Structures are given as structure tokens and as C-alpha cells.
Amino acid sequence: MIQKRRYSSPSLSPSYSFSSHLLFGIIDTYLLLRMFFIIFGIVWTKIFFSGIYSIIIYILLIFIFIIIIGEYLILNSGADGNVYSYSKYAIKVFKKQHISKKECEILRILLKDKENHNLVPHIYCLFSSMLFSFILMERYKSDLLDYLNKNFRILNYNKKIYLLQTICMKIEELHKFGIAHRDIKPENILINNTCDNIEIRICDFAHAVIPSYSNEFYLDKIGTRQFNAPEITNNKYYNPYISDIYSLGCMFYVVFAYKMDFTRNDIIEYCDLKKEKGYNIWSLIQNMIHDNPLERPTIKYVIEYLKKC
């Protein structure tokens, strides 16, 4: 099982150890103790305080209680925001203001076109202000990483190919609309699955861009280190649509090899071992992670190729 870091940084690959579990165990125990003191505190204030002081103390205690409940409702924590969930709703509260503005802006542009509504989870409210910002959206059952953790054993080759094809079609639509995601990875793909249907949505547009023309180049280093194309890692100018193909290739590897800790060489070696003659997913992955961006296939080609695998 690949475990997620609760508080991850985009530049770190997930690494999970006994100590991190222990740490979160300690944090949880600490929160429980805090809850106990709050209940104890309410009884205590009832006895010893009256009037304005008790009101202030009650407000303070409620505030602390909300913080604790917030910790327990947390669904996932990424580098840019915490996502809390309640019933069928998920709410992303941003940690950094400049990121939130960018993500909200991209989502607003994306959602102007009704045809794009099936690319992202249904959004009920987008709020961004000087002080804090949030996105209230439909909650999806899991992201791709959780989905793999739960279903890897029962996912056969054909199901994996179908899953990747569906994801690629969403990315193709996104690219056609003019948006490059720049942080494609399993945690940013949301899945709702029933026994005979699978619904895919893309999330986390914090690093996305809308290039003014298809050949515009970028230099800023963003995304997640392991999924970043060599041109990004090596501080070269890069085309964001083409670097998305590299990240997709890495994601294909994760779906088949079920490993989150990898280097580009690991992928190449793994595919070399598995490679067969004719159309096969392994050659496709190797092409997608080609170190020369111009040698990588287009998203359209990837979809067509997957149909033959």
C-alpha cells in the first residue's frame, strides 16, 4: 500500500516511515487530550464565571473546538491547501494567497464554458479574498492513489488501460481548451467508481497556466519533483503541454508498477523488462518520458495508441 503524507510538499516524494505514523499518533492523542480539557473547561467556567467573562471564554472554547473538529474532518492535505470534507461536500482552504488567486482564476475561466464542467468536480462556490480563499465542491470518493491502494489487486490490465484512456481524454479536453495543468500526478486525479462505471475529474489547478499561444515557453520550476520533466528539473525553457505528457507517462508507470518512489531510470528499466513486440504500453511509457520533449507523443497519439494496447 502506498501511503500519503498528510502534509506533503510538492518538491518531496512521498516517503512513509514508522516515525511518521508515530508522529500522527501522538498528534491525535494530543488533540483528544485537548478535547478533554475543553469539556472540563466548560464545566469549570459554568461554576466559576458569570456574565461577560463566561461569554468570552465560551466563544474562545468554541473557536478551539472548531479547530479540533477541523483537524478530524480533514480529508487530505496537499502543499497548497487543506481539503476538508463533510457529507457530499469537499472544501479546499488555501494555505497561500497567491496560489489561491491563480487556482480560482483558472477555474473561473474553465467553468465559463459549460462543456468543461465535466473536467472538474462540481463547484458550488469559489471564494477568494485578500485574507483567505476557499473552494466548495462536490466530494469525490477517492483520488487515483487511494483508488490504487484499494483496488490494485483486482485491477487487471484492460481495466488499467481503460482508466488511463479516460484520464487522457480529460487531459486532452483540458489542453484543447488551452490549459496546461503542470502538476499531473495520481493525487490530483479524482475518481468516483461504481461497479460498472468510472467517473474521472481533475483537481488542483494551482500550477496550471493558459499559454497565449501553443508554443509559449515557461521557465518557472513548479509541480512535483518526481513527475517533473527533465527540462523543468534542469531549469530549461519548457512547453507546459509537452511536460504534461511526461508527468502523464510517470503516472502510467505508477498505475502499472504501483510505486511512488521512482526515478526516470527506474521507469526505463521497468519498461525494458516488460517490453513486448508490437503495440504495448511499455514502449508508449518510454516514449512519453523521452528526455527530448520533441520526441514525446501528443495526447491525441497517446489515446489512439492506448486503444491498440
Ligand X SMILES: Nc1ncnc2c1ncn2[C@@H]1O[C@H](COP(=O)(O)OP(=O)(O)O)[C@@H](O)[C@H]1O
Helix, strand or coil for residue 201?
Answer: strand
Q: Which of 197, 149, 171 is nearest to 288 (CA)?
A: 171
204 lines the binding site for Mg ion (CB under 5 A):
yes
Among the residue ranges 91-99, 196-204, 219-227, 285-293, the one whose residues contact Mg ion (CB under 5 A): 196-204
What, of ligand X, Mg ion, none, does residue 90 touch, CB below 5 to 8 Å by kind? ligand X
What cell was used for 287? 516514449
CB of 205 to Mg ion, least distance (A): 10
CB of 89 to ligand X, least distance (A): 8
293 lines the binding site for Mg ion (CB under 5 A):
no
User: Nearer to Mg ion by C-beta: 78 or 293?
Assistant: 78
CB of 168 to ligand X, least distance (A): 19
223 lines the binding site for Mg ion (CB under 5 A):
no
Find cell 488533540 and name the residue: 31
Whole-Å CA distances, 242 to 73, 232, 251, 292, 295: 37, 11, 15, 10, 10
Helix, strand or coil for residue 76?
Answer: strand
What, of Mg ion, ligand X, none, does residue 92 touch, CB below 5 to 8 Å by kind? ligand X
The correct pick among 100, 188, 224, 228 for binding Mg ion (CB under 5 A) is: 188
* Contacts of residue 94, Cβ cutoff 8 Å, sequence gap at least 6: 80, 81, 100, 103, 132, 133, 134
Residues engaged in binding ligand X (CB under 6 A): 75-76, 78-81, 83, 90, 92, 121, 137-140, 143, 187-188, 190, 203-204, 206
What cell was used for 4? 500519503
User: Nearer to ligand X by C-beta: 207 or 296?
Assistant: 207
> What is the C-alpha to C-alpha distance for residues 213 and 105, in angstroms, rounded to an integer?
19
Binding residues vs Mg ion (CB under 5 A): 78, 188, 204
